[in-house]
Amino acid sequence: MALFRRIANLFRREHLDREIAAELQAHIDLRIDDNLARGMNPVEARRVALVQFGNPAATREHVAAADATLRLEDIRRDLRYAARQLRRSPGFALTAILTLAVGIGGITAVCSAVEAVLLHPLAFKQPERLVRLHEGVEHHFEPADLPAPDVIRFARDNRSFVQVAGFVGAQFEVSGAGKPFQARAERITASLLPMLGVQPALGRAFTQSEDDNSAPVVIISNAAWRTRFNSNPNIIGTTVDLDRRPYTILGVMPDGFQFPLSTGRVSHRDLWVPMSFTSDEKQDETDNFQYGAIARLQPGVTLAQARDNLRRMVATVEAEIPPQYGIHLTSSVQSLQEESVRRARPLLTALAAASGMILLMACANLANLLLVRAAGRQREFGVRAALGAARVTVVRQLLTESLLLSAIGGALGTALALVLVRIAAATLPDSLPQSNAIAVHWPVFLVAFGLTGLTGIVCGLAPALASLRTGLMDALKKAAGSTSSTHSQNRLRSILAILEIALATLLLVGSGLLVRSFAKMLQTDPGFQAQHVLTASLTLPEQGYQTQQSINALYGELLRQTAMLPQTRSVGAATNIPIVGINSDRNFVPLGYSPRDGRAWVSASNYFVLGDYFRAMRIPLIEGRFLAAQDEQPDAPLVAVISQSAARLAWPGIDPIGRQFRMGGNPKSARPLITVVGVVGDVRQGALDQSVYPQMYEPFPQAKRQFETAVQRSIGNYRSLYVVLNSAGDPAVPQASLEKTVQQLDPLLALSDIHTMDSVVSATQASRRFDTGTLSGFAMVALALALLGIYGVMAHSVSERTREIAIRMALGANRREVLQGILRDALKLTALGTVAGLAAAAIFTRFLRSLLYGVTPLDAATLTSVVVLLLVCSIMAGLIPARRASGLDPMRVLRSE
């Protein structure tokens, strides 16, 4: 109504002016008419009328003023005035704007990342109904993947799932399409793609009958289609050789399709083939938990019901296992979405908390700045009030100033957020899924902006409103330039500074713990020497390598020829290499082992090795001997080398050399005995911050002989080995020669995963490096903000007490005492803040536990160094105002009052 009219009047300015002029003119005309009627002549009538009316121009202005009390002109004027005020105190303006920008930008960027990674739904149909099934063995390992027969069984017998799909990794040598390469593939049941609701972009998915009949069909990934097949539009129906057998290409997946979603690596697959369970797999013993299983919940079925269902099905499986194995199966069902972010959750939550704290600190800093500034303008407000300025005007101008600050800070913050988001998307480690979907999340920005803007407005206005109430006399009585504030205002500012220091302490402790964890990780002995070692993976296809003998012969020849290369110091091969992750957990029964926890078997990570593996990796020999060429002969006695922790586990307190064991979990099985011939140092099978597993090494040619003779024929062949080459110089140099050697042996073979061990090790450190770096970055920002806070409070208190200090110095206090006094005040503030921060750290750092390695959440070294750092920094922050105070010339100060 009245307000709308005023706002509307802003824009109808021209129209309004014309209307007012017309109205006044009409008035004058009417008066002229009357004058004419009274008998004056036209000239006379007009003159008298104008005289009686008064000054039309002035009247017009007054009328216009009455119409629109909120004028665009005024707003523009206020803005210019505000800008001038800010320019006059650049230090204040800059600090305020930077504080705002950092707070808003930081929290927007982090929360956008959090949103994209943690909350972004998976790109499948109704992803919240997708779950992953797990099966495990009690006391042995946590629920992980399933054995193949169980995937088939659960798909058939379940009552809570619309469908169950299985998947397992595979590798194929791809040829017949340009240069042969090793493709990372996944075998998937036909039910998977329909369940996910994903269709190939070209062609079609395979049918259940193709899956059941092991049809040689394949679906390729979009990336493979582009890079290896030149985006051939007619690719559907053509054939390609996988492991030298022809497969028909049925379809091409859409760009960006990822399956499976692994939480440790970028899951990059080139091909998907039908699962086509072999008869071996269908009859597998229950000790090969390798097959992933995903299911879609039936409508109305809850997670709890699904868990129950799975538990009952698993119980049925367990009932079929002979009890003397002592195996108890466990199971679990997890939401797929939850799983894919599990790894990322602790870090991102920590970061979100950290940015929340920084936002708080930014607000506190801003509040401090504005309060100080307002206190200094008391006099100005008093005088303006005395001169007749309407309260509204003054308040409006202050509002404009605060809004201007907020707007500039917000704009800068947006820019900062965009830059940070861009950096994050580029540098995030692979352990964070969906990092390419990170973009600025506008609701977060608005919240951050709103919060800081609100702080700006409240802290900018509050003192102004308060000061308007103080009498004019009081305002004028204050000495010019003095900025004495009330006691409560001082207390408020000190509290703000203490709060900031507490928050900074908390962040510094958190990041300090991470830094120490990272350092500990770097110092961890991996158990081998990673320098100068080149590794490459090789898989032999069925075509041309039907028997284990032919496989062993090729690898043997490869190692022999590689050993003769000039660069090679030693070379060996193994089914797995350290750091990359355990791939092969096996059970064994040591002879004479007394059952513990109700089971008679021990489990260890198991590598089959060939050639000079131990020397190539420089794993230290503790006792006995390494595996050697003699053990690779076809009839050599079955031997093994174990690690120290395996020895301690299987034969505690006894010398393990000469002891014997059987593979498998059954103490009464008919499997052949294996003799221990050596003990070596432990190696880290996973990343350096993961725990060490007991390790066992057996000669590669003896792999199948560990089973009963009757069973040996039905075991698949071991085809893949990692070649490990210890080079005399730079390990990257022998790469070409190694590839050439392989080519000469068989032109269709291709090495893959060629890395130096150094890069493998540092790749596993990448995610921890990122975590530490980011949190430390935040802590540094927090420290800077806290120091600004201290500086602000100290500087202000010094400038307030200028007279007091001058008097003291005139009365005989020397400069040093003044300096120390100020510093003592600064230290007092810091001490209080640090204590509060440490108390908070004691409560909150336990949430970081999952990110720590080798340090406790209350690590004494970290806490001490943080405290020392803060004290030192606060002394530095307080030094500048302290120096200024002690540098005062008392006479000049007192005289100038």
Partner 1 sequence: MAKNDLQGTLDLLVLKTLASSPLHGYGIVLHIQRASEDLLRVEEGSLYPALHRMEQSGWIESEWALTETNRKAKYYKLTTSGRRQLNLAEESFDQLVKGVRAVLRYA
- Which residues contribute to the site for partner 1 (CB under 8 A)? 1-2, 5-6, 19-20, 22-24, 26-27, 29-31, 33, 52-55, 58-59, 62-63, 65-67
- 3-state helix, strand and coil shares in percent for the chain, rounded to the nearest 5: 55, 15, 30
Q: How far is the CB of 42 from partner 1 (least distance, A)?
A: 15
**Shortest distance, position 30 Cβ to partner 1, whole Å:** 4
2 or 319: CB nearest partner 1: 2
Name the residue nearer to partner 1 (CB basis): 63 or 748: 63
User: Which 8-state DSSP code applies to residue 123?
Assistant: S
Give whole-number Cα distances, 167 to 14, 131, 270, 650, 843, in Å.
Answer: 74, 14, 15, 34, 43
31/71 with CB nearer partner 1: 31
Report the nearest approach of partner 1 to the CB of residue 40 (Å): 16
CB 751 within 8 A of CB 538: yes
Contact indicator for 370, 93 with CB cutoff of 8 Å? no
Question: Closer CB to partner 1, residue 59 or residue 743?
Answer: 59
Query: Tokens in use for 220?
Result: 């390729």
Q: Taking the complex as a whole, how short is the minimal distance between the CB of residue 472 and partner 1, in angstroms?
A: 18
- Which residue reads 């709060």 in tokens? 499
**Residues 721, 270: Cα–Cα separation, whole Å:** 21
Nearer to partner 1 by Cβ, of 4 and 564: the residue is: 4
Residues paired with 280 in a beta bridge? none
C-alpha–C-alpha distance, residues 425 and 429, integer Å: 9
Please, what is the minimum distance in Å from the beta carbon of residue 62 to partner 1? 4
CB of 66 to partner 1, least distance (A): 4
Least CB distance from residue 54 to partner 1, whole Å?
Answer: 5
Nearer to partner 1, 10 or 819 (CB): 10
**Which uninterrupted H or E stretch holds 135?**
strand 130-137
Which positions ≥6 away from 197 have C-beta within 8 Å?
A: 124, 125, 126
Shortest reach from residue 33's CB to partner 1, in Å = 6
The DSSP letter of residue 540 is: -
Query: Which residues are CB-contacts of 218 (< 8 A; sequence separation ≥ 6)?
Result: 185, 240, 242, 247, 248, 249, 250, 271, 272, 273
The vertex-623 CA angle with 622 and 624, nearest 5°, equals 140
65 versus 383: smaller Cβ distance to partner 1: 65
Task: Provide the minimum distance between the beta carbon of 79 and partner 1 in the complex, in angstroms, as a whole number.
Answer: 25
CB of 388 to partner 1, least distance (A): 12
What is each CA distance from 843 to 190, 355, 496, 840, in whole angstroms? 50, 18, 21, 5
Decide: 565 and 731 in contact? Cβ < 8 Å: no
Return the number of the residue (53 or 442) whose C-beta is nearest partner 1.
Answer: 53
Q: How far is the CB of 73 from partner 1 (least distance, A)?
A: 18
- Do 363 and 450 contact (CB within 8 A), yes or no? no
Determine contact, residues 198/253, Cβ cutoff 8 Å. yes
Q: Measured from the CB of residue 896, what is the shortest distance to partner 1 in angstroms?
A: 41
How far is residue 747 from each of residues 181, 651, 772, measured CA to CA in Å? 11, 47, 46
CB 444, min distance to partner 1, A:
41
Tokens of 162: 């619309």
Task: Choose between 63 and 79: whose C-beta lies nearer to partner 1.
Answer: 63
In the complex with partner 1, which residue's Cβ is closer, 37 or 811?
A: 37
Which CB sits closer to partner 1, 33 or 157?
A: 33
Residues 6+ apart with CB under 8 A from 558: 538, 573, 723, 741, 742, 745
- Full DSSP string of 138-172: TTTEEEE-B-HHHHHHHHHH-SSEEEEEEEEEEEE
Q: Shortest Cβ distance from residue 468 to partner 1 (Å)?
A: 20
Please state, in angstroms and rounded to a whole number, the distance separating the CA atoms of residues 703 and 706.
6
CA distance 75 to 682: 75
Nearer to partner 1, 29 or 525 (CB): 29
Closest CA to 268 of 329, 220, 199: 220
Q: Which one, 37 or 564, has the nearer CB to partner 1?
A: 37
**What is the rounded CA–CA span in Å between residue 839 and residue 195?**
51
Burial (CB < 10 A; 0-12, 13-18, 19+), residue 772, is: buried
Q: Which is nearer to partner 1, 70 or 839 (CB)?
A: 70
Q: How far is the CB of 387 from partner 1 (least distance, A)?
A: 17
Q: Cβ closer to partner 1: 31 or 815?
A: 31
Q: Are 245 and 216 in contact (CB under 8 A)?
A: yes
Which value, in Å, is the radius of gyration of the alpha carbons in the chain? 39
The residue behind tokens 């401090």 is 368
